[in-house]
Every structure is written in C-alpha cells, then in structure tokens.
Amino acid sequence: MSTPIGASSYALPDIPMSVGELPPAPAEVALVAGDDLARERLQSYAEFLAGAGVERGLLGPREVPRLWDRHLLNCAVVAPLVPQGAHVIDVGSGAGLPGLVWAIVRPDITLTCLESLQRRATYLDEAIAALGLGDRVAVVRARAEDVARGRAIEGSLRADVVTARAVAALDKLAGWTVPLLTPGGELLAVKGQSATEEVESARAIMDRLGIKSIEIVQCGVGIVDPPTTVVRARKAP
C-alpha cells in the first residue's frame, strides 16, 4: 500500500502512456469533485485509464476522447447516493469504474474492488497506489458469486452499498450482489436504457433475496447528457 498523497503533487507509476487524445477535463468536474485534491486525482486517473487502461485492454482506444463524459463523470454523478461513511463493494471492478471514481470524490467512504481476473486486479492495485488511496481502498481477487456463497475468502465480505457497472443483466447480477449487502444496505447498479425491462425481469428473484424496494434513479441531470441511470434496490433491515 502506498503512503497517502499530498494535495499538490505526486507521480504515477512508470507505465507507458499515450494520452494525446485525452481531452482536457470539462468544467463539470468541479461540480462532482469537492476540492483540488479530488480534481487532481480525477485528472491522474483519466491519464491512467487513457494510458495503462488502453495498453492492457481494459478500455478501448476509441473511448479515450469521450472518457470524461461517458465514464468518469458518468460514474461520479452517482456518488451522492452513497451514504456518509459507507463501505462499498464494487463487483467486477475491472478498470475501477465506478468504484475508484467514488473513492476519489467521496473521501469519507471505504471501498473493496472485487475482481476475479489477475491482470485487472494488478491494474487496480497499481492505480490505487498511484492515486494514494491505499488507506481506504483494497482489492479482493475473487468471483462475486463465490464470495456471495461464502466459499471464496476467509470470513465474510459484506457492505452497506454494493455496485456494479456493465457486468451482467440485473436478474443474474442480483444473485451475485444482494447477498453481499448488510441488512438495510443498497444495491446501486449502473444501467442503461434497458433498466426498466431488467427490473421487471429481476423483480421475482430480488424479492426472494430480500429486496424490499426498487427504484430507477436518473443521476447527474444538467451535468452529463444523458443522465446516468441507476437501479437502486434496498435490502430489508
């Protein structure tokens, strides 16, 4: 784990980076990042994604020009839904979206990145160290479905909030994520235009898993276009 960074300067690891196509940070970053340190970290994370993320196949090169709107801001606008001081599990964390973005803009939360693939877990460890988030962000290499069944790691892994982005359809995702919630916890699944249909298809299984309320929330109106669609499901207390 790295030592937490200062507010003014720090260095990313020596990883080949090519960020010529990365556009400058838009003005909307100031609306989602509360201070200079968060803005600096978001910029460095954008460069990390555009460089190491593309180099290692976690992000397509065509995504670099729209990295801010489609990925970083798209995730950041959901962070206000996370309760103060929550522990969050990001299932299938991949390149760290949305989890690392939330950890950057919400210094009050702790985060576990749950990722099964070694190359992605290694990438996440390097990004966490580079961004100085090692004091409150960790990577667990395991399959979410194994963790949910209590057979992947010693002890239990549970959180106030579980999130996932572009991992699986909601009916399948529910079985991997809802068991990881503490009583009264929330699933915040970042979805697209199919959210309504996915909720209807998953409603029966979510009822069986103890979900007591489901709503579809539009986040970031006036900041990102289109707003980010989130399925917000609360587990029974």
Confidence of residue 146 (pLDDT cuts 50, 70, 90): confident
pLDDT of residue 12: 43
Query: Of all residues in the chain, what percent carry a pLDDT higher than 90?
Result: 80
CA-to-CA dists, residue 119 to 7, 16, 52, 115, angstroms: 29, 16, 12, 10
pLDDT of residue 20: 53
pLDDT of residue 1: 32
Q: Does 191 have pLDDT greater than 50?
A: yes
How far apart CA 97 and CA 44 sit, in angstroms, is: 14
pLDDT of residue 8: 28
pLDDT by residue (tens digit) across 2-32?
A: 222 222 233 444 444 455 578 999 999 999 9
Q: Does 131 have pLDDT greater than 80?
A: yes
Domain segments of the chain as ranges: 81-235
pLDDT of residue 156: 72
CATH class of 81-235: alpha beta
How far apart CA 32 and CA 42 sit, in angstroms, is: 10
Of the ranges 4-8, 80-84, 148-152, which one carries the lowest mean pLDDT score? 4-8
CA-to-CA dists, residue 106 to 24, 119, 136, angstroms: 22, 26, 11
pLDDT of residue 21: 79
